[in-house]
Structure 1
Amino acid sequence: MARLYDVQQLLKRFGIIVYMGNRLYDIELMQIELHGLYQAGVIDRLEYMEAEMVLRREHRLESEYQKKKES
């Protein structure tokens, strides 16, 4: 799992489609949904950690992009 698209496909397997119109909010909601799947025991630890790392990276990149755009 290397891209945000991969995480979206993982969530889609469980009927979870996230679109709020703001990429940063989408990533944050995906993190919440991913955590819920892990807590429920639906996905294993490795899959959770890989997806979480992708989401953290994407969140950081998007935050930097939005800050740069505002300046």
Structure 2
Amino acid sequence: METLYDVQQILKRFGIYIYLGKRLYDIELMEIEIKNLHKAHLIDDDEYKTARLILRREHRIELSRKDETRFV
């Protein structure tokens, strides 16, 4: 697992499809859902940690894009 798409595939296994129309919001909701799956013991610790790292990285990227466009 290396990309946001991979995290989406984990959620898809459980019938969770997320599209809010804004990538930043999608990432934040995915993080909530991944936490809930882990609390329910539906995904293991390694999968959870990797997914959280990917989501954090993507969140940072989206925030930096938002900041870059603000100065243009």
- Normalised-by-shorter TM-score class: over 0.9
Unaligned runs of 5+ in 1: none
Whole-Å separation in 1 of the counterparts to 2:61 and 2:47: 21
TM-score (norm 2): 0.97
Partner of 1:21: 21
Identity %: 55
> What runs of 5+ residues in structure 2 fail to find an aligned partner?
none
TM-score (norm 1): 0.98
For 2:26 and 2:69, how far apart are their aligned partners in 1? Answer: 18
Amino acid at match of 2:61: L
Supply the RMSD in Å over aligned alpha carbons.
0.4
1: CA distance between counterparts of 2:70 and 2:20?
20
